[in-house]
Amino acid sequence: MKFELQHTDSLSNARAGLITTAHGQIETPVFMPVGTVGSVKAVHMSELKNDIEAQIILGNTYHLYLRPGLDILQQAGGLHKFNSWDKPILTDSGGFQVFSLADNRKLTEEGAEFRSHIDGSKHFFSPEKAVDIQRVIGADIMMAFDECTPGDADYAYAKKSLELTERWLDRCLARFAQTECAYGYQQTLFPIVQGCVYPDLRRRAAENVAAKNAGGNAIGGLAVGEPTEKMYEMVELVNEILPKDKPRYLMGVGKPENLLEAIERGVDMFDCIMPTRNGRNGQIFTKNGVLNMRNERWKNDFSPIEEDGASFVDTLYSKAYLRHLINTNEILGLQIASVHNLAFYIWLMQEARKHIIDGDFAAWKPVVLEKVTRRL
């Protein structure tokens, strides 16, 4: 993987770059739709590629390991061939799922033992196994195995957790160096900066990660319960240390305003389930604000979902029709909402990139931020 830093905003740390992988190029800043079990919920691959214009999607190591399982993925020739997505894929390591299974897992120096959310069966992930699984999945960008610390963790726990994550990172890097992709192309492993909301721990973690000289770096353990301003503070601190010539990925974030604030602080890559999950619950993000499609006010509004939208569905369907579909739990409503929201998120990233390159990001950001966060 290669990264070219193309432009940096003169009044902030916002950046525009180009990532080159074995499955194509990615223009940054970029939003990556989440395809947990090998599909982005309610969205066809052709829509992702041609209408939404996604450049890269995510797969989830924990979920893909459980279903369909490594044997099926290996027989298929990896996730790209299994799900017919020929552009880049990024996989997380399963660390966040281990965090979310707090009541059904046990952490040791060796790794994490957990019970499946599907049938209660017992499984074990070590740093080495997380790398091996991601080799079989075949993601272009892989994540190191870590412990995602809760946002409200006390200092002693956060420090102990970070020390474990750092030891696990060394084991991940060693395993990565000893192995190769199962399908003959190059993969890249990103370390993850942890440290909760404690500046000295985040600084220590960022310095350790920067010293590994990996192809890119991730910032984890944010948007997990801490105040939003703390998240921005930690991102700013970490990005002062992480190398400028490597892409920076803020994991699991978030709302449109979170993305814009993080871009201003030097983040290049994002993912979040919000556009699809919230869309399935009737929340629509638009260039002029946020709509709750269950509200009565849209019942007889026959205007397009968005006059100048980012996707084909915006002018094809009316607000009244989308409200009807969502309120009757019709599957097409979930699909329309998901396609629209993903297209909006990716449009927002494209616009941010354009204004970084044009040199007026600092002037554009507060204007667009006020528009897209309105409640309509």
Distance, in Å, from the CA atom of 155 to the CA atom of 183, rounded to the nearest integer, reads 43
Distance, in Å, from the CA atom of 359 to the CA atom of 361, rounded to the nearest integer, reads 6
Three-point CA angle 80, 58, 117, nearest 5°: 105
When the pLDDT of each residue in the chain is averaged and rounded to a whole number, the result is: 96
Q: Say which range, 85-89, 145-149, 332-336, 358-362, has the weakest mean pLDDT.
A: 145-149
pLDDT of 150 reads 87
Those residues whose C-beta lies under 8 Å from the C-beta of residue 143, and which sit 6 or more positions away, are 61, 90, 91, 92, 93, 95, 134, 189, 190, 192, 218
Instruction: Write the pLDDT tens digit of every residue in 18-72.
Output: 999 999 999 999 999 999 999 999 999 999 999 999 999 999 999 999 999 999 9
Instruction: Write the pLDDT tens digit of every residue in 83-105.
Output: 999 999 999 998 777 667 777 78
Residue 233, pLDDT above cutoff 90:
yes
Instruction: Write the pLDDT tens digit of every residue in 316-355.
Output: 999 999 999 999 999 999 999 999 999 999 999 999 999 9
Reported as a pLDDT band with limits 50, 70 and 90, residue 203 is: very high
Residue 239, pLDDT above cutoff 70:
yes
The residues annotated with a catalytic role in the active site are 92, 271
Nearest residue to 277 (alpha-carbon basis) of 94, 100, 102, 33: 33
Percentage of residues of the chain with pLDDT beyond 90:
94
Q: At what angle do helices 127-137 and 155-178 cross, to 10 degrees?
A: 50
Q: What burial letters (b/e) apply to 350-376, b meaning 16+ CB within 10 Å?
A: bbbbebbeeeebeebbeebeeebeeee
pLDDT of 99 reads 67
Side chain identity at residue 287, one-letter code: K
pLDDT of 29 reads 99
pLDDT of 324 reads 98
Rounded to two decimals, the pTM is 0.97
